[in-house]
Chains A and B, each alone.
Chain A
Amino acid sequence: MEHIITPKVEFVKLLNRYHEKKSALGTLYLTATHLIYVEQINDTRSETWVLHHHITSIEKLPLTASGCPLLIRCKTFQVLHLLFQREKDCQDVYLSLLRLSQPVKEEELYAFLYNPHQNEEERRQGWEFIDVANDFSRMGLSNEYWEISHLNKNYEICSTYPSVLGLPKNASVAIVTGSAKFRSRGRLPALSYYHKDTKAAICRCSQPLSGLTSRCVEDEQMLQAISQANPNCPFIYVVDTRPKLNAMANRAAGKGYENEDNYSNIRFQFQGIENIHVMRNSLQKLLEVCSMKSPSMSDYLTGLENSGWLRHIKSVMDAGMFLAKAVYEERASVLVHCSDGWDRTAQVCSLACILLDPYYRTIKGLMVLIEKEWISFGHKFSHRCGHLDTDPKEVSPVFTQFLECVWQLSEQFPSVFEFNERYLIEIHNQVYACQYGNFIGNCQKERLEMRLHEKTFSLWPHLLKNQDLYRNPLYRRSLECTFLRPSTLPLHFKFWCGMYNHYDRGMHPKQSVLDKLLSFTQKKVEGEQTMTELQRQLAVADGVLPDPSGPINTPAEQDSPIENTPTATVVQSNGSCAPLINGDAEEAGPGVEKCNEKEGAEPAAPEHDLTSSKDKPVSVETEHSKEEVQESS
């Protein structure tokens, strides 16, 4: 609270990036958690909520004749261009936001304040909802070849690994610990995915400390054990996802890659995915392209090419494809690493899982996959997302790239994913929002020490509760046994406008096939529910079933009352063309800028509400979509 110098500034202009004329005049509020911009045009009040954690940079631009401009960029790729009348207000807001957007301690993160009205039992259930161990059993572990090991239960072998690991049965404790010592940060080869049909496995680790000449018998035995765990193939692939040059440079520092001469029956392969710094710079360039004012087609395409972004997306996809093909077509096990094995390795393993196993293409399956390959295997979410004010060189859009790869796949295969684009974007927003505890911290050990399960809530139940929003109506379960074989020709890699220009509604299609089909399929579900209810009543009337007051067979879970607020339905009818009368070629009318999904909607907060929420932010019933543009009529 002490960081908010001015909680309210009036007569602030919100500049429209593409249309000076369409700029809005309104009031800016700062709360403990959000920046809120309220615009009042006649009877229509529209609100823009931006979570402080989503703000990535605040820039004071040179003074102009019309006022003091402030440029706010968000991790969700939203850009706010504000214009203040008085320099002092601008400076105050600038200083406040600078502090608010860069929390120093974990405890300052939103998740430690946020309470979605759950009791302790619900909180516990929420955290237990996704259990990686269950996924091991789903794959068929333990079995003849693989076992679930608790060797790392105190994080002594590897501090950034999960406590539960899948390891080859014939790898002794000595081999496991010996191999861990030979791997960067102790990240030993462990099971990522076991493919039941081919008995081939995908394992992941970090680079070996091979330097120029070192070798380690246990590590060699470990790879041997992985190879022996697959009776269908005499060799394993060892995939180094880095460009060869990077890997060779690491040898000089005592790290490096596997020497084929020292390991029996490995086939070694580089994949050429660039490092986090290259990716960060590439995204920067991409975002510059996204915010060009009125680029020609050539400017845009040249900018897109020069950013290199799609080239990097393709390199991740190519590597994922290589893994999946090795497993599916050659029945070969694969060991994957990069440098530390928590960025590129996570991308590639999770992508291969999606290509191989239809389960990960479902709404719940993707949660499991993220929990397994990213959260528990120690992708450094806190560092990569810059949750806290730390080294900016650690920040990199590694997870964003993974989500984009999934999106690229969904564009090639419109009916194989249970979820739609909004699900991916929502997950992306939540990763950066720190509203739930899932993506706080860099590894399991750290999360345990922060006692996140006691102090914060899990995102997954919240997403599941809203899964109707995220469904893909074209999803065909019958296709689910197929191995996904995407084309990796360059022309299949498209710019993801829905993500990087998400807030530029004017660029998006003005009518949504998704909404239309969802409304159809939703009616079907409702119809079926009514039918079940009628049949039940009939059965009760006939005396087949006991008294209706009993808790039997209530029709499928109903949405909580919070979500049934009338505003939600108003916004759903978004596909209308109403704004098009006064739309123009550059930008759609105001109505189109409404947010697509909104739940947990509360009545537009009057001023006194906001000030009171300043004092007790926890009481504000904010759900995740607060940070999106809201509009109430």
Chain B
Amino acid sequence: MELSEHIKTANVEDVTLKRPFHPALRGTLCVTSHHLLFSDRKDEASWQLLILLRNIDAIEKRAVGSSGTITIKCKDLLVLQLEIPGMEECLNIASSIEALSSLESVTEMYPFFYRPSHLTLQGPWGLSSMEQYYKQTERLWDRWRVSTVNSDYSVCPSYPSAVIVPREVADDMLIRSARFRQGGRFPVLSYCHHRNGMVIMRSSQPLTGANKKRCKEDELLLQAVIDGSELGYVIDLRSAQQAQQARMTGGGFESKSCYSHWKRIHRHHERGKVVQESLIKLVEACSDPSHSVDRWLSKLENSKWLSHVHSALSTAGLVVECVERDGHSVLVHGSEGTDNTLLVSSLAQLILDPASRTVTGFLCLLEREWIQAGHPFQQRCAHSAYSHARLKQECPSFLLLLDCVWQVWRQFPLALEFSEALLLRLAQEAYASNYGTFLCNSEQERCAAGVKENTHCLLQSLLKPDIEEQYLNPLYEPTDLAIWPSVHPQSLQLWTGLFLRWTEYAQNMVEAREEVWSIVKEHRERAGPDQTNNTLSTHCETLTPFENLMDELTIL
């Protein structure tokens, strides 16, 4: 079925658009295969709103006399209302939106049609491959190697074709270890600490099962990781009880008797549906119009979102403590090793590694630890907070990561090169995008669908030709030290930038940010070019004009 067959009414005149904190507008509404386009009827300087249909999470229809109202709730939390004259038109538009916003086939999605003039499809896709990362990271060369055992994705379908493993472990051992791990996600290197060479590994749970099966190769692989040193830590992202229970369904944990040099620490993390429901509850609480503080605090508590933020940062802190302070290597895993595992390992890197706090470094970290590492974006981000559809595999793990990064940024406002705006942009793109970066669930799927050949890469476009000023932190001052966030409940806050994004409050914050920029620029001018070079990143020298964040995101 052609996409256009879903469109019964392509154009409606005299539609009224209502947005929060803006006067209502009248204009024309168009539905295309991938967009909803509203343009007001003024001849000159007409104003347009273009919404990617993929961005629409839920719609509600309501009939008022002969006309209808459609409420559009977007995945980026924007809520719009359209008043459409004519009941039939209204229903047609609604059914088009419903059908076109939830396309199943990847190649029908907009990234496969997005062809901006300033980008070409030639050249490499993405920022860096695992091989390149290895080449750039000299400290790995001695003890680690790149294995292409998964080059045809047969060993682990969700891993990239190349992974980094201990030099002395041969490919056939990896294959054995993979068979012993859920989904074939055998232990691979995630990060090697620049101070002491200690590493963070990640994997999925071992398949010990009820009979306490063992796998010699898996044990040897982990033995090779700590390479003769006394001790490594397994940070299991489930409670001890949950890990025990997992054995009943074929999963399990690294027992002391089989992995004698590894000490296991359990930290309970919620996953899947529970976290998705937290997001739904939190967003609902944020749009609660009642004026009771008690009700708000109780809803905030009840959503448990901040509890998840708290757990993620605490466990990342624990990993950092093992690696940085105690000088031990760490293996992180939960069950599948595709959500909380990535959350904890990438947060730990952000805290430990100054290189991951630059714009490029952070985007590379996301590419390596989330996209290449096989976080199933398509399943997890199929719906956001408004959808009434029955939950399948949705889970805002990536949003949780961005929230945690924001918390770190709030506590260390000078230590990250990027700004909150970049985090907001990523939050939006993960759910609906012009780019192919967050399509599919793994590298294998992306290869099969031809994502690399037929779509543009978001991460590349963010950096080219120059990163926009709004994504930079004007106060950035690189530091080599670990940035250890406080996890006292008093230190963690609701990420208002995201959850109150479409309120007047956000506008005040934009103004404050502009003011910070103007102070910093004035300071740089006074300080002269010499000092500028010393203290500021090279990006800042060619600044593109500041554009309003919200306009940038809603209006094409």
Interface residues of A (CB under 8 A from B): 290, 295-302, 304-305, 308, 310-311, 314, 318, 412-415, 473-474, 476, 487-495, 497, 501, 504, 506-513, 516-517, 520-521, 523-524, 527, 575, 577-578, 580-588
Decide if A513 touches B504 in the complex (CB within 8 Å).
Answer: no
**From residue 472 to 503 of chain B, which have CB atoms closer than 8 A to chain A?**
475, 479, 481-494, 500, 503
The reply to whether B304 and A298 form a contact with Cβ atoms under 8 Å apart is yes
Q: Does B523 touch A at the CB level, under 8 Å?
A: yes
Chain B, 212-230, CB within 8 A of any chain A CB: none
Question: Cβ of A578: which chain B residues have Cβ within 8 Å of it?
Answer: 481
A577 near B483 with CB under 8 A, answer: yes
- Chain B nearest CB from A448 CB (Å) reads 41
Which residues from B are CB-within-8-Å of A501? Answer: 490
Contact A495 B484 (CB under 8 A): no
Of B177-185, B231-239, B513-521, which stretch is located at the interface?
A: B513-521
Complex: A507 Cα to B489 Cα, angstroms:
9
Does B389 sit at the interface, judged by CB under 8 A? Answer: no
13 A-B contacts (beta carbon < 8 Å): A299-B489, A300-B489, A304-B297, A314-B291, A489-B296, A490-B291, A504-B488, A507-B488, A513-B516, A580-B483, A585-B485, A586-B487, A586-B488
Question: Quick one: which of A295, A492, A493, A582 contacts B489, CB cutoff 8 A?
Answer: A295
Q: Given the complex, which residues of A lie within 8 Å of B320, measured CB to CB?
A: 585
**Cβ of B481 and Cβ of A510 under 8 Å apart?**
no
A495 touches B490 (CB 8 A): yes
A413 to B509, CA, bound (A): 8
Cβ contact within 8 Å between B515 and A305: no
Contact B505 A511 (CB under 8 A): no
CA distance A511 to B296 in the complex (A): 30
Among B297, B493, B511, contact of A310 (Cβ-Cβ < 8 Å): B297
Q: Which single member of B414, B509, B523 contacts A511 (CB below 8 Å)?
A: B414
CB contact between B526 and one of A512, A517, A523, A585 (< 8 Å): that residue: A523
Inside 8 A of B291's CB, which chain A residues have their CB? 314, 318, 488-490
Q: Which of B149-157, B306-314, B461-469 contacts A (4 or more CB under 8 A)?
A: B306-314
Given the complex of chains A and B, what is the CA–CA distance between A408 and B406 in angstroms? 21
Q: CB within 8 A of B490: which of A290, A524, A581?
A: A290
Q: Chain B 274-314 against A: per-residue CB contact (8 Å), 1 yes, 0 no?
A: 00000000000110011111111110110010110110011
From known contacts A296-B307, A491-B286, A511-B415, infer whether A474 and B516 are also in contact, taking CB-CB under 8 Å.
yes
Which residues of the other chain, B, contact A290 by a CB distance below 8 angstroms? Answer: 490
How far is it, in angstroms, between the C-alpha of A492 and the C-alpha of B293 when the chains are bound? 9
CB distance B306 to A523 under 8 Å? no
A524 to chain B: which residues have CB within 8 Å?
Answer: 522-523, 526
Query: Shortest 10 CB-CB distances between A and B: which pairs?
Result: A585-B317, A490-B296, A300-B489, A301-B301, A305-B297, A414-B512, A520-B523, A311-B293, A297-B307, A490-B293
Interface residues of B in 133-175 (CB under 8 A from A): none
Q: How far is the CB of B268 from chain A (nearest CB, A)?
A: 11
B410 within 8 A of A: yes
Most buried by B among A305, A492, A585: A585
Asked, given contacts A290-B490, A476-B515, whether A308 binds B314 with beta carbons under 8 Å apart, the answer is no
For B211, the chain A residues whose CB sits under 8 A away are: none
**Is A577 within 8 A of B314, CB to CB?**
no
Q: Is the C-beta of B325 less than 8 angstroms from some C-beta in chain A?
A: yes
Q: Give the residue name and chain of the A residue nearest to B298 (CB).
A: A305
Q: Are the C-beta atoms of A577 and B415 separated by less than 8 Å? A: yes
Given A305-B297, A523-B526, A412:B508 Cβ within 8 A: yes
Contact of A585 among B301, B307, B321, B523 (CB under 8 A): B321
Which residues of chain A are near B126, meaning CB under 8 Å?
Answer: none
Residues of A within 8 A of B504 (CB): 487
* Residue in contact with B488 in the complex, picked from A304, A314, A487, A506, CB distance below 8 Å: A506
Q: How far is the CA of A85 from the CA of B304 in the complex (A)?
A: 44
Contact call A310/B490, Cβ cutoff below 8 A: no
**A492 CA to B321 CA in the complex, in Å?**
35
Looking across the interface, which residue of chain B has its beta carbon closest to that of A307? B297
Q: Are B489 and A297 in touch, CB under 8 angstroms? A: yes
Determine if B532 is an interface residue (Cβ-Cβ < 8 Å). no
Using Cβ atoms and an 8 Å threshold, which residues of chain B touch A296? 307, 310, 489
Residues of B contacting A302 with CB < 8 Å? 297-298, 301
> What 6 additional pairs, Cβ within 8 angstroms, besides A295-B489, A510-B486?
A297-B489, A301-B306, A415-B508, A487-B503, A508-B486, A508-B491
Nearest CB in chain A to that of B410: its residue: A509
Q: Which residues of B contact A580 (CB under 8 A)?
A: 479, 481-484
Q: Is the pair B482, A520 in contact by a Cβ cutoff of 8 Å?
A: no
Whole-angstrom distance from the CB of A374 to the nearest CB of chain B? 25
Note all chain B residues with C-beta closer than 8 A to A297: 301, 304, 306-307, 309-310, 489, 492
* A433–B291 alpha-carbon span in the complex (Å): 36
**Closest beta carbon of chain B to A243's beta carbon, Å:** 15
Bound-state Cα–Cα, A298 to B317, Å: 20
Q: A520 with B520: in contact, given A300-B489, A492-B505 (CB under 8 Å)?
A: yes
B238-264 vs A, CB cutoff 8 Å, 1 = contact: the mask equals: 000000000000000000000000000
Query: Is B484 touching A507 in the complex (CB atoms < 8 A)?
Result: no
Interface residues of B in 190-212 (CB under 8 A from A): none
Cα distance, A493 to B505, chains bound together (Å): 12
Q: How far is the CB of B519 from chain A (nearest CB, A)?
A: 5
Q: Which of A473, A520, A521 has its CB near the most chain B CB atoms (within 10 A)?
A: A520
CB distance from A416 to the nearest CB of B (A): 9
Q: Specify which of A504, A508, A527, A584 is in contact with B325 (CB 8 Å cutoff).
A: A584
- Whether the pair A517, B317 counts as a contact (CB closer than 8 A) is no
The winner among B285, B309, B503, B519 for most chain A CB atoms within 10 A is B519
- B490 pairs with A487, CB closer than 8 A: no
How many Å lie between the Cα of A414 and that of B509 in the bound state? 7
A295 to B291, CA, bound (A): 27
- Shortest A625–chain B CB gap in Å is 23
Q: How far is the CB of A305 from chain B (nearest CB, A)?
A: 4
* Residues in B whose Cβ lies below 8 Å from that of A584: 317, 321, 325, 484
Q: Inside 8 A of A583's CB, which chain B residues have their CB?
A: 482, 484
- Taking the complex as formed, is B106 at the interface, i.e. its CB lies under 8 A from any CB of chain A? no
Q: Chain B nearest CB: distance from A505 CB in Å?
A: 10
Which residues of chain A are within 8 angstroms of B304 by Cβ–Cβ distance? 297-298
- The smallest C-beta distance from B284 to any residue of chain A, in angstroms, reads 12
CB distance from B471 to the nearest CB of A (A): 18
